Amino acid sequence: MKPVVPYIKATQDRVVLEIQRGCIRGCRFCQAGMIYRPTRERDVEVLKEYARAMLNGTGHEEISLSSLSSSDYSKLEELVNFLITEFQDKAINISLPSLRIDAFSLDVMSKVQDIRKSSLTFAPEAGSQRMRNVINKGLTEEDILTGAGQAFEGGWTKVKLYFILGLPTETEEDMKEIARLSDRVARRYYEIPKDKRNGKCQITASSSFFVPKPFTPFQWAAMCTAEEYVHRAAVVKHEFMQQLNRKSLKYNWHEADETVLEGVFARGDRRTSKVIEEAYRLGCLYDSWTESFHNELWLQAFENTGINPDFYTLRPRSLDELFPWDFIDIGVSKQFLKREWERAMKGEVTPNCRQQCSGCGAAAFGGGVCYEDKNEI
């Protein structure tokens, strides 16, 4: 285990240890959660050995545990305790992205982070329970407020909340609930007696705009126009201004034009390659850097190639449409995705892979969570 170390400073200047692949949860917008099925955990003893060898072999001062949902790794406690005892006095930083916020995670984080400086991240993805059921987030408002309350009592004052705007079936109420939920999180902070608080709290809510992805139950969904996305963000922003704790709340949102482009290429077919080539000829390069993103050049490229972006973004797909990616077998069947899309439209929640198998098709690979005993959690 001797990863190559560049002799210039890299952005990801740390050991990355993948603890499991896949996710048991089944959020309906998430491509990674579908294409990496089934969830496969790595053996904890192997991980300990890798951690030791990679830190010694690279000289990195930070180790990050990577996975789509670290809290679902069944030996997380053992692994984290090992890392803390083994490496913390050697000034090795331990970072744990993608944790669910609960008592155990907060305890771990308080051991590995400076509480005053760090902020906690929650990803409720949607403001209302109705919307969270549509996306199969499996997170109740009580989970969010309890987690936030425990975090505040543990000394954290900064919380980041991530949301997606423009999800299928979203109503104005759902949009406004983003602001109201953020306010309820802030209220939870001010329930702590004044002498026990650490000044003001800072809740930063961010929303990205929904982009339907291939191989997900939402691959049939239509997107909104850039104008509609901006309008929805304005509805949320306005609702934030009405909240009691607005001084403790911040709201920002992602670029709508970039989202629409992402939407075109996420579900594009071979014709869209002409647009990319034309955009390049017109001067588009390094588009994910805001300063070098020129939407007008992209619009020109669509016009020059006679391709209508709305065909890829605004059109709801019928259930029998053949998709450009249908010839790729990811293990998860199209019938399962369809079933999930229909359940989403009815707001029905599907249990996670540890509670009950939903027969997605990935068991055909012969391993992972599909062969664990169910109803363990």
Instruction: Compose the 10-39 pattern: x for residues touching ligand SF4 by CB under 6 A, - for all others.
Output: ---------------------------xx-
165 near ligand SF4, judged by CB under 6 A: no
Q: Which of 34, 179, 185, 353 binds ligand SF4 (CB under 6 A)?
A: 353
- Find, among 333, 323, 338, 339, the residue nearest to 363 by Cα: 333
Residue among 74 and 358 whose Cβ is closer to ligand SF4: 358
**Gap between the Cα atoms of 165 and 170, Å rounded:** 8
Nearest approach, Cβ of 27 to ligand SF4 (angstroms)? 13
Q: Is 196 in contact with 189 (CB distance < 8 Å)?
A: no
204, two tokens: 């930063």
Count of C-beta atoms within a 10 Å radius of residue 278:
19
Please identify, using beta-carbon distances, which residue of 331 and 347 lies nearer to ligand SF4.
331
Q: Using CB under 6 A, which residues numbered 236 to 275 contact ligand SF4?
A: none
On whether the CB atoms of residues 329 and 240 are closer than 8 A, the answer is: no
Closest to 135 in 3D by CA, of 163, 99, 113: 163
Q: Is 362 in the site for ligand SF4 (CB under 6 A)?
A: yes
Contact status: 360 vs ligand SF4 (CB under 6 A): yes
CA dihedral 310, 315, 321, 322 (to 10 degrees): 30
Q: Is 66 in the site for ligand SF4 (CB under 6 A)?
A: no
- As a whole number of angstroms, the distance between CA 224 and CA 208 comes to 13
Q: Does 108 bind ligand SF4 (CB under 6 A)?
A: no
Residues near ligand SF4 (CB under 6 A), total = 11
Among 358, 367, 373, 375, contact with ligand SF4 (rule: CB under 6 A): 358
Nearest approach, Cβ of residue 356 and ligand SF4 (Å)? 8
Choice between 51 and 360, CB closer to ligand SF4:
360
Q: Write the interaction track for ligand SF4 spanning residues 35-64; mark x where CB under 6 A is met and - where it is not.
A: --xx--------------------------
Task: Report the residue number, 21 or 48, with the smaller CB distance to ligand SF4.
Answer: 21
> Looking at beta carbons only, is 311 or 371 nearer to ligand SF4?
371
Residue 183 C-beta: closest distance to ligand SF4, Å: 36
3-state secondary structure at position 356: coil
CA atoms of 369 and 288, how far apart (whole Å): 36
Taking the complex as a whole, the smallest distance from the CB of residue 21 to ligand SF4 amounts, in Å, to 12
Nearer Cβ to ligand SF4, position 302 or 336? 336
Sort 156 into a burial class: Cβ within 10 Å, 0-12 / 13-18 / 19+: buried
What span, in angstroms and rounded, lies between the C-alpha atoms of 34 and 21? 11
Q: Tell me which stretch binds ligand SF4 (CB under 6 A): 58-66, 275-283, 322-330, 363-371.
A: 363-371
- Assign residue 99 a region: left if phi > 0, alpha if psi is -120 to 50, beta otherwise? beta
Q: Nearest-5° angle of CA 323, CA 326, CA 329?
A: 160
Q: Are the C-beta atoms of 51 and 85 separated by less than 8 Å?
A: no
| Shortest separation between residue 143's beta carbon and ligand SF4, angstroms | 21
Q: Residues in the site for ligand SF4, rule: CB under 6 A?
A: 37-38, 353, 357-360, 362-363, 369-370
